[in-house]
Amino acid sequence: MKTQAKLIGPARFSVAVHTLAGLASNGGTLSSAMIAAQVHSHPTFLRRILATLASHNIVDTREGRDGGYTLRIPADQLTLSAIYLAIRIEQPIHDLPQSDGIQDSEKMNQRLSSIMKGAEQQVIDYLGQYTLADVIDDSDITKMPDK
């Protein structure tokens, strides 16, 4: 699976949501290998996502033989916007590269940046209306295997 580590794209967001849904359904501690097998993701890619989610206090990590990941926030309290904001790129989509010094180009970048900032805010607001529990359907989520 080819991924780009800093993109929010569908793969990154989808894997994060599926991972958290699996943790919510299981209710226990799961290793990254077990989660990767369940969500059909490359383990390294998944560990990067889990590390990011842990740094935003969405999952807890425990090292050692019985270590793994657990969901820190109940599924009915964890909004999709919180997940999005945790894993989105470090540079928001509205931060455009510097223009080439041409005044018209700078003005266009400023306008485009403003439009993109508004678009991203609408995405965040929309995702804030839904929780992880809203996307979990017990008939579709199978519990991850025990250790």
* Residue 31 · residue 147 · CB < 8 Å: yes
Interacting residues of 9 by C-beta distance below 8 A, sequence separation 6+? none
The C-alpha atoms of residue 126 and residue 138 are separated, in whole angstroms, by: 23
* Residue 130 · residue 79 · CB < 8 Å: yes
* Residue 37 · residue 25 · CB < 8 Å: no
The fold adopted by the segment(s) 10-92+131-135 is: Arc Repressor Mutant, subunit A (1.10.10)
- pLDDT for residue 27 is more than 90: no
**83-129 per-position pLDDT tens digit:** 999 988 655 554 555 555 656 677 887 888 888 889 889 999 999 99
Percent of the chain topping pLDDT 70 = 75
The C-alpha atoms of residue 99 and residue 92 are separated, in whole angstroms, by: 17
**34-67 per-position pLDDT tens digit:** 898 888 888 888 999 999 999 999 999 988 777 8
